[in-house]
Structure 1
């Protein structure tokens, strides 16, 4: 290894600030993940109670845990891609202009890799339960990361209505 390369190699930095685990957590928008996970948990619980084949013992709780973690990972992936696609818009707003995705603290290639890894892990977990579960996870990912982020938000004022339902509008 070249000694000059070893000397110049540094941890990923932007303006002297190191990228932290907290930056990656914030990039995945934990508030969205938690609120939607509660809804997913409620749906899983109701489906289990109404099922004719209600599971007994630890199997149902293992399936529920895998479903919840897989769903959270797919949601995290979609929010990371949302941050990636919205960098330009976020740079214009006071509330979002200091995000790590906007400032370059987390470079775009790292964001893409991070989002792809989260999504791959989530889809694998969901597919281990049932292929349809993974397909529905993929559909939800595409609806948020592509349809909402790349089209709806940019083309329609109605995107504010969906943001209001998520409690994201601020005066």
Structure 2
């Protein structure tokens, strides 16, 4: 799939015009460069995986606070590095999309060569910190980094609709990093958490792709709704949400309360998804699905911590 690049002069003109109304600050530039919301969202599963590993091994947090800091800071740095490298590589198509055209990599407020160096340095430092936890945790972090930076960003994003499947792998390893910092992740709980995040990211990303259909189309990014249309995307969303239904039952060790709440969330999200077959307001429905997905994963992973807190 050939991507038609916007000339640099046009990028600068568009960026300057958009910034006339809102002059970017260093804080806003860094927030966009680090994709702060995405970064924080990915840190939660790491925390949950770490906490659950302590819970199921009857360990005390006080004995592992040093490992905890290394795990959280190290994994966050690796993820930040990957997100920055994604911004560096995608500067050309970001200039075409309304939601990304004010990123510092597009406006030029932060030079691309500096962005590249920052992404590499943060990634390396993150791996070094994680290496002081366990090799297994470091390996999972590398799998996530390599998948996101190389297989997703550089290889599949612009070419294949399977980019979403490939990209989902990088986000799904996050609880494995947290768990493996305590003990090997050959346990039903981290495996189910991996599957949950992997499957969840599909309808979540498809909803975003529908919301931003015109932008992805203009940038010629091979997202599912751009290539195969909304009806196919709706069917895929419902199928993946349905695949989430049995997963809470494999986490019976977290208790009945968790299973009930997770199942209710699954059914409500599935019902909202099926509702998409009976509406012509596709963009409004996609926004609802996006909000459902964000609340779903946040509530679920926070609940895993809450139900295992000492009484």
TM-score by length of 1: 0.79
1:24 aligns with 2:63: no
After superposition, the Cα gap between the structure-2 partners of 1:50 and 1:24, relative to the gap in structure 1 and judged at 3 Å, is same
Counterpart of 2:95?
Answer: 91
- Deviation of the 1:58 alpha carbon: 2.4
Question: Out of 56, 62, 80, which is 1:58 matched to?
Answer: 62
Q: State how 1:75-114 maps to structure 2 within 5 Å.
A: 75-114=79-118
- Structure 1 Cα separation of the partners of residues 61 and 54 of structure 2: 13
- Are 2:136 and 1:132 equivalent residues in the alignment? yes
The two structures, once aligned, show a CA RMSD in angstroms of 2.5
Task: Please list the CA deviations of residues 82-132 of structure 1 after superposition, one character each: whole Å capped at 9, or x if unmatched.
Answer: 001101111111211121001211111100111122112211110011122
Runs of 4+ in structure 1 over 6 Å off: none
Task: Specify the structure having the higher radius of gyration (Cα).
Answer: 2
Contact 2:54-2:61 at 8 Å conserved across structures: no
Asked if the contact 1:78–1:145 (Cα under 8 Å) also holds between the matched residues in 2, the reply is yes
For residue 161 of structure 2, give the secondary structure of its aligned residue in structure 1: coil
Q: Among 40, 49, 69, which residue is 1:34 paired with?
A: 40
Return the TM-score normalized by structure 2: 0.45
Moved more, 132-141 or 155-164: 155-164
Deviation at 1:36, TM superposition (A): 1.0
Counterpart Cα distance in 2 of 1:86 and 1:153: 10
State whether residues 74 and 123 of structure 1, in contact with CA within 8 Å, keep that contact through their aligned partners in structure 2: yes
Report SS of the residue matched to 1:129: coil
Matches of 2:53 and 2:46, distance apart in 1: 10
d(CA) in 2 for partners of 1:80, 1:124: 18
Q: 1:158, CA displacement in angstroms?
A: 3.6
Point out where structure 1 has 5 or more consecutive residues left out of the alignment. 1-14
Partner of 1:44: 50
User: Is 2:87–2:105's contact at 8 Å kept on the other side of the alignment?
Assistant: yes
Structure-2 separation of matches of 1:151 and 1:19? 32
Shift of residue 163, structure 1, vs aligned partner: 6.7
Q: Which runs of 5+ in 2 are unaligned?
A: 1-15, 17-22, 166-200, 213-311
Total equivalences in the alignment:
156
Q: Does 1:68 align with 2:107?
A: no
Q: Quick check: 161-170 or 65-74, which moved more?
A: 161-170
Question: In 2, are the aligned partners of 1:28 and 1:80 still within 8 Å (CA)?
Answer: yes
Whether contact under 8 Å (1:19, 1:106) holds in the other structure is: no
